[in-house]
Structure 1
Amino acid sequence: MISILLAASVSTLVSLFGTRYLIIFFRTRGQGQPILGKEDMGPEHHMAKQGTPTMGGLAIVIAAFLGWLVAHVREDLPFATQSMIVWVGVLFMALMGFLDDYIKVRKRHNRGIFWKQKNYITMAASFAMAWWLVVGTGISETISVTRADLGFEVPTIIWILWAGAIIWATTNAVNVTDGLDGLAAGSALMGFGAFVIIGYLKFRNADLYHGVVNPLDMGVFAAAFAGGCLGFLWWNAAPARIFMGDVGALAIGTALAFMALTLNTHLLIILLCAINVMEAGSVAIQMGVFKASGRTKRLFRMSPIHHHFELVGWPETTVIIRFWLIAAISVGLALGIFIADFSSLSAG
Structure 2
Amino acid sequence: MLVWLANFLESYVSGFGVFQYLTLRAILGVLTALGLSMVLGPWVIRKLNELQIGQAIRDDGPQSHLSKSGTPTMGGTLILFSIVTATLLWADLSNRYVLAVLFVTITFGLIGWVDDYRKVVEKNSKGLPAKWKYFWQSACGFIVAVALFVTAQTPAETTLYIPFFKNVAWQMGVLYVFVTYLMIVGFSNAVNLTDGLDGLAIMPTVMVGSALGVIAYLVGNANFSEYLHIAFVPGSGELVVYCAALAGAGLGFLWFNTYPAQVFMGDVGALALGAALGVIAVIVRHEIVFFIMSGIFVMETVSVILQVGSYKLTGRRIFRMAPLHHHFELKGWPEPRVIVRFWIITVILVLFGLATLKIR
TM over 0.5: yes
- Work out whether residues 36 and 44 of structure 1, in 8 Å CA contact, stay in contact via their aligned partners in 2: no
Q: Which residue of 2 aligns with 1:297?
A: 316
Q: Which residue of 1 aligns with 2:337?
A: 318
Select which of 255, 270, 277 maps to 2:291.
270
CA displacement at 1:150 relative to structure 2: 4.2
Select which of 255, 261, 274 maps to 1:234.
255
> Which residue identity is paired with 1:182?
G
Deviations 1:72-93 (A, max 9, x none): 3xxxx56302211221122100
Select which of 137, 147, 151 maps to 2:169.
151
Structure 2 CA distance for partners of 1:17 and 1:188, relative to 1, 3 Å: same
> Which residue identity is paired with 1:304?
P
Q: How does 1:188-337 map to 2 (within 5 A)?
A: 188-206=205-223, 208=226, 210-293=231-314, 296-337=315-356
> Which residue identity is paired with 1:113?
L
- Looking at structure 2, the residues matched to 198 and 223 of structure 1 have their Cα atoms a distance apart, in angstroms, of 12
CA displacement at 1:116 relative to structure 2: 4.1
Q: Which residue of 2 aligns with 1:93?
A: 108
CA displacement at 1:205 relative to structure 2: 3.6
- Looking at structure 2, the residues matched to 148 and 217 of structure 1 have their Cα atoms a distance apart, in angstroms, of 25
Q: Which residue of 2 aligns with 1:136?
A: 151
Q: Which residue of 1 aligns with 2:200?
A: 183
| TM, length-normalised to structure 2 | 0.87
Select which of 60, 83, 87 maps to 1:68.
87
- Looking at structure 2, the residues matched to 130 and 109 of structure 1 have their Cα atoms a distance apart, in angstroms, of 32
CA RMSD of aligned residues (A): 1.9
SS state of the match for residue 34, structure 1? coil
Q: Which residue of 2 aligns with 1:345?
A: none
Q: How does 1:9-20 map to 2 (within 5 A)?
A: 9-20=31-42
Choose 142-151 or 60-69, whichever is displaced more. Answer: 142-151
| TM, length-normalised to structure 1 | 0.90
- Looking at structure 1, the residues matched to 256 and 162 of structure 2 have their Cα atoms a distance apart, in angstroms, of 35
- Work out whether residues 188 and 274 of structure 2, in 8 Å CA contact, stay in contact via their aligned partners in 1: yes
Structure 2 CA distance for partners of 1:337 and 1:148, relative to 1, 3 Å: closer
Q: Which residue of 1 aligns with 2:117?
A: 102
Q: Which residue of 1 aligns with 2:56?
A: 34
Choose 117-126 or 321-330, whichever is displaced more. Answer: 117-126
Structure 2 CA distance for partners of 1:48 and 1:80, relative to 1, 3 Å: same
- Work out whether residues 62 and 330 of structure 2, in 8 Å CA contact, stay in contact via their aligned partners in 1: no
Structure 2 CA distance for partners of 1:297 and 1:327, relative to 1, 3 Å: same
Q: Which residue of 2 aligns with 1:160?
A: 177
CA displacement at 1:163 relative to structure 2: 1.1
- Looking at structure 1, the residues matched to 148 and 177 of structure 2 have their Cα atoms a distance apart, in angstroms, of 9
Q: What percentage of residue pairs aligned between the two structures are identical?
A: 34
CA displacement at 1:124 relative to structure 2: 3.2
- Work out whether residues 34 and 109 of structure 1, in 8 Å CA contact, stay in contact via their aligned partners in 2: no
